[in-house]
Amino acid sequence: MPAGAIVLASLAGANRDEDFWGPDADRLRLDRENARRHVTFGGGAHYCLGGALARIQGRVAIGELVRRFPDVEQAGEVRWNGLLSLRGPAHLPIRL
């Protein structure tokens, strides 16, 4: 980074740094070697109180989906919700 450069933090940029996550930083990859280092729930004094519950809910929901439908696959393009703070898919077609 050049001397005197200004660095701005952007919530929309969290977990999308290609220098850290690699060239496919914009893709959801649960198998990333450093996946546990994401900043989805914040950190330190600003850590989300619901973070643990959200992880448990996600683990149970995805686990049950894959257990019941082992051949589940994406069946179309993902449409994102466009939000900055609670970014996620608005439409995620799957085939069971």
What pLDDT, in 10s, does the model give residues 34-61?
A: 877 777 777 777 777 888 898 899 899 9
pTM of the predicted model as reported, rounded to 2 decimal places: 0.52
pLDDT tens digits for range 7-41: 666 666 677 888 888 898 888 787 888 877 777 77
DSSP SS3 for 26:
coil
DSSP SS3 for 28:
coil
The continuous run of DSSP H or E covering 79 comes out as strand 79-80
CB-hemisphere CA count at 13 Å for 56?
4
